A and B are shown apart, each in its own frame.
Chain A
């Protein structure tokens, strides 16, 4: 009988917690590695085109994004391509102001290095994209990047 004696009489044994910090650190590292800072929730549906001759976009802090595509909520906004700046739909005329704000948010030394990343859906017509490019030219934001997915050349 004594073999299965309940341990009620003893206090609950202390769990060794010396490795708890390790576990926490793993979690920390994991989240540090996997999180991509995305400030924008997408209001447009974007399927990026494919290209083989791509460059990596370095220095994410110096990139501002313009999204173009079909609205996610088609019932409300229709199927025409819309431009999204930050968290709201915008028109082409809003782009200079957007560029000015993006400039203001950066250090003075970095302002010339801002790249505008165009995340445009493959079914978009070039008319919208050309209008955006003209506005960017006017706003003197000349470095652009057509965001694409990398595929191997055929």
Chain B
């Protein structure tokens, strides 16, 4: 038999196979993205005795004990309605003594005065509190404030807060809904 040349394998579709594989992996692999609740710690205090006086009615006190039970302004609370309570507390109730004081503040971007609450959420936990509960509470607080931001954003710009593209608008909403959460240094009651 005569010597035959090996026929050339058609490699034209190899690129297609390669691209298919590439796309397959691109679609199926999940890059694990680090997510979390970002907070800013208060700067270290130089003078320990310098306490800021805040009126009692302006503070929503949330306490978590070493058994992960909540105390919200002196009453036993539950994680399920914490966000609603915070929102109710931070809402504007002019003339109502049971709620924080309100003050008028001039916002240059809006060109008018806006009623702002003086309320502060104070969070205090025990050294024996579990981290899980602490994060749950932090998450509920974040949810309460995010929902308030959404409401303000919808009111002024017609879109939700996380859909705002303009940095100036984001700034304005942050100004209207300041996240005022103060964290006290923990107590050691549970004996951990």
Q: Which A residues are within 8 Å of any B CB, using their own CB?
A: 2, 5, 9-10, 13-14, 16, 18-19, 22-23, 25-26, 29-30, 33-34, 36, 49-57, 60, 63, 115, 117-118, 120-127, 129-130, 133-134, 136-138, 140-150, 153
Q: Nearest Cβ in chain B — how far from A57, in angstroms?
A: 4
B129 close to A126 (CB less than 8 A): yes
A-B contact pairs, 19 of them (CB 8 A): A9-B3, A10-B4, A16-B8, A18-B14, A25-B22, A30-B29, A33-B26, A33-B29, A57-B36, A57-B38, A123-B131, A125-B192, A126-B134, A130-B186, A141-B41, A142-B43, A144-B38, A144-B39, A145-B38
Instruction: List the 7 shortest-distance A-B pairs measured between CB atoms, nearest first.
Output: A127-B127, A19-B14, A13-B6, A53-B142, A122-B132, A57-B34, A22-B18
> Is B40's beta carbon under 8 Å from chain A?
yes
A144 close to B6 (CB less than 8 A): no
Q: Which B residues are within 8 Å of any A CB, using their own CB?
A: 1, 3-4, 6, 8-9, 11, 14-15, 18, 21-22, 25-26, 29, 31-44, 125-132, 134-136, 138-139, 142-143, 146, 185-186, 188, 192
Q: Which chain B positions have C-beta within 8 A of A49?
A: 131-132, 135-136
Smallest Cβ-Cβ distance to A150: which chain B residue:
B35
A133 to B38, CA, bound (A): 13
A13 to B5, CA, bound (A): 9
A60 and B41 contact, Cβ closer than 8 Å, known pairs A49-B136, A124-B131: no
Smallest Cβ-Cβ distance to A121: which chain B residue:
B131
A56 to B146, CA, bound (A): 15
Q: Which chain A positions have C-beta within 8 A of B44?
A: 137-138, 140
B127 close to A126 (CB less than 8 A): yes
A36 and B32 contact, Cβ closer than 8 Å, known pairs A16-B8, A26-B18, A153-B143: yes
Q: Which chain B positions have C-beta within 8 A of A129?
A: 131, 134
A53 close to B143 (CB less than 8 A): yes
A138 to B18, CA, bound (A): 54
A19 and B33 contact, Cβ closer than 8 Å, known pairs A30-B25, A122-B132, A138-B44: no
